[in-house]
Structure 1
Amino acid sequence: MAVPPDLADPPDLRVGFEQIFNTHFTEIHRYIARRLSDDDADDLAAEVFLAAYRGGYDPSRGEVRPWLYGIATHLIARHRRTEIRRWKALSRTAERAEHSYEDAALARVAAGRLTGRLAGALAGLNRRDRDVVLLSALGGLSHTEVAAALRIPAGTVASRLSRARKQLRKALGDVHPLEETHG
């Protein structure tokens, strides 16, 4: 996917942004797709880079990568209701599957129950905690990068992640789905 050139912009600005786009587009798209869907990711990733292009990167604000993740997380928040409906639907699907003996056996073999329960547990988190968990788990961001992406202190990231882990463990019956994090 190529960056649409805007002839009103100086060539050096286009070249710099094109490098940002080429370096980070796939990663940002993958993060959005893991939180929402591939179709949503196509649209939202484009919106992320459009917003970034329009806003301009200011190196004094920190690294490019967390800045782009912050934009992505902000745009995902606009789709919050859709995201929550998706997590709840996955959870309900898993619950319905458990009512059938054959479906329950298949779900256990395929570990589908955990996925459904995890989706329900994620839907039960408040938005701020869920954003920290998903930036860390799906985006692979460190605490420092999550802090930069959400414009919050690193200590707040640690406390939100700790609180979310406790809630997820409780909801999943002491299973540790986020045992490996990027701190």
Structure 2
Amino acid sequence: MYDRYARAVFRYAAGRVGHGHADDIMSETFLVAFDKRDSFDITVGDARPWLFGIATTLMRKHSRVEAKAWKGLVADGAAAVPVDAIDAIGSRIDAEVAVKAIAVALRKMPTRDRDALLLYAWADLDYEGVAQALGIPVGTVRSRLNRARRTLRAASHRGPTPELEVEHGRSDVAAETA
């Protein structure tokens, strides 16, 4: 199981808490999974939702680390602006403001909504996978993702973002925007 899913768990953790802490989260995830291996339903073909659920729970415990990572995301966005690109200064400023606003919105978003969004977007789970990872019904996943999307739209001061909703080639959210 480790060989099959370690990279995916690491990528998900790195996206949320940074590479410096992702190894710890990944390692702890597999330690917890080993301890709780009797609770895993072997008839389920994909262990990712179960493992991402464990990782998400561990990251909640490390919420201060995640908050620092979001602040770092904002700082990285500001530091990545090339000085010699004078022609695009208006666009850069708009992008920087948008990145900060979205990072702040993600940081302030209720944990349950942020977890659902990040499992969907960064762990590339479908609605059923997010539901399994968080131990909640699929309808609750839909509600949480809807709230998270509305929060991000409001933060970015833009209209609907269909590219975010079908980014992973999934059509399960396209109907919600209609």
Shift of residue 95, structure 1, vs aligned partner: 8.1
* Contact persistence 2:78–2:96 (CA under 8 A): no
One of 23, 36, 40 as aligned partner of 2:17: 36
One of 116, 130, 151 as aligned partner of 1:132: 116
One of 37, 51, 61 as aligned partner of 1:78: 61
Shift of residue 121, structure 1, vs aligned partner: 1.5
Q: Which amino acid aligns with 1:36?
A: V
- Paired residues for 1:28-107 under 5 Å: 28-57=9-38, 58-59=40-41, 62=44, 63-88=46-71, 90-91=73-74, 105=89
Distance 1:164 1:125 in 2: 7
Percent identity reads 38
* Contact persistence 1:129–1:164 (CA under 8 A): yes
Instruction: Please give the TM-score of this superposition, normalised by the length of structure 1.
Output: 0.75
Instruction: Please give the TM-score of this superposition, normalised by the length of structure 2.
Output: 0.77
Shift of residue 117, structure 1, vs aligned partner: 2.5
Q: Which consecutive residues of structure 1, in runs of 5 or more, have no partner in the other structure? A: 1-19
Distance 1:67 1:93 in 2: 32
Shift of residue 94, structure 1, vs aligned partner: 6.2
* Partner SS for 2:157: coil
Q: Which consecutive residues of structure 2, in runs of 5 or more, have no partner in the other structure? A: 173-178
Distance 2:9 2:53 in 1: 10
Shift of residue 171, structure 1, vs aligned partner: 0.8
* Contact persistence 1:107–1:113 (CA under 8 A): no
* Contact persistence 1:94–1:117 (CA under 8 A): no
Q: Which amino acid aligns with 1:59?
A: D
* Partner SS for 1:43: helix
* Contact persistence 1:25–1:45 (CA under 8 A): yes
Other-structure match for 2:164: 178
Shift of residue 109, structure 1, vs aligned partner: 7.9
Larger radius of gyration: 1
Q: 1:170 to 1:61 in 2, by over 3 A?
A: farther
* Contact persistence 1:70–1:148 (CA under 8 A): yes
Length, aligned pairs only: 162
Q: Which amino acid aligns with 1:38?
A: H
Other-structure match for 2:139: 155
Distance 1:171 1:46 in 2: 34
One of 96, 113, 117 as aligned partner of 2:101: 117
* Contact persistence 1:97–1:107 (CA under 8 A): no
Other-structure match for 2:153: 169
* Partner SS for 1:59: coil
Shift of residue 68, structure 1, vs aligned partner: 0.4
Distance 2:71 2:154 in 1: 17
